Structure 1
Amino acid sequence: MAHLLGHPGSMASLRADLRDLQGAISDVSSRAGPARFPSWKFPDQVSCELDLAALLERYDYTEGDPEFSQHAHVVLLELLVDR
């Protein structure tokens, strides 16, 4: 599995999952109200106030920089836990 860390296909799939999950969270929050809890990944922020679009833009596959891509992949996995 370690060989998939930073793989563009794996990251694209994970990013799509995060967008889908955020859509489901937004749908539930619109009916029940936001769950105001500290973010697991960013404990100084409230999880429902994270700008997921900006985070997805910041942490993306970068061709020619495998270390950053691997780091970004881990951050995306952590955001999945945070959601």
Structure 2
Amino acid sequence: MTHLLGRQDCVESLRRDVIDLQAAVLDVFSRTGPVRVPSWKFPDKVSCNVDLVQLLQEYDYTEGEPEFNQHSHIVLLELVIDR
């Protein structure tokens, strides 16, 4: 499975997953209000205050940067868990 780490299609798929999960979370929040619990990825922040737009801009696939893409893959997977 390590051969998939950092591949463009994997990174893009994880980005879409994070966006879809966030949309579902916001839908629930619109009915219940925000849930104030610590973020799994950023325990010093409340999960509803994590700036996903900034994180998605920062951790995107970059052509010719295999190590960064592997790091982005892992961060995006952690954001899926965090959501």
Confirm or deny a common fold (TM above 0.5).
Answer: yes
Match of residue 2 from structure 1 = 2
* Identical residues among aligned pairs (%): 64
* Number of corresponding residues: 83
Q: Which runs of 5+ in 1 are unaligned?
A: none
Q: Distance in 2 between matches of 1:10 and 1:78?
A: 14
Cα deviation digits, residues 33-54 of structure 1 (max 9, x gap): 1110111111111111111111
- CA deviation map 1:16-70 (0-9, x unaligned): 1110110010010011011101111111111111111110110011111100110
Distance 2:40 2:24 in 1: 19
Matching of residues 17-28 of structure 1 within 5 Å: 17-28=17-28
Tell me which amino acid in the other structure corresponds to 2:30: S
Instruction: Report the Cα distance in structure 2 between the residues aligned to 1:49 and 1:26, rounded to whole angstroms.
Output: 12
Q: Paired residue for 1:29? A: 29
**TM-score (norm. length: structure 2):** 0.96
> Counterpart of 2:51?
51
CA RMSD across the alignment: 0.6
- If the length of structure 1 is used for normalisation, what is the TM-score? 0.96
* Match of residue 70 from structure 1: 70
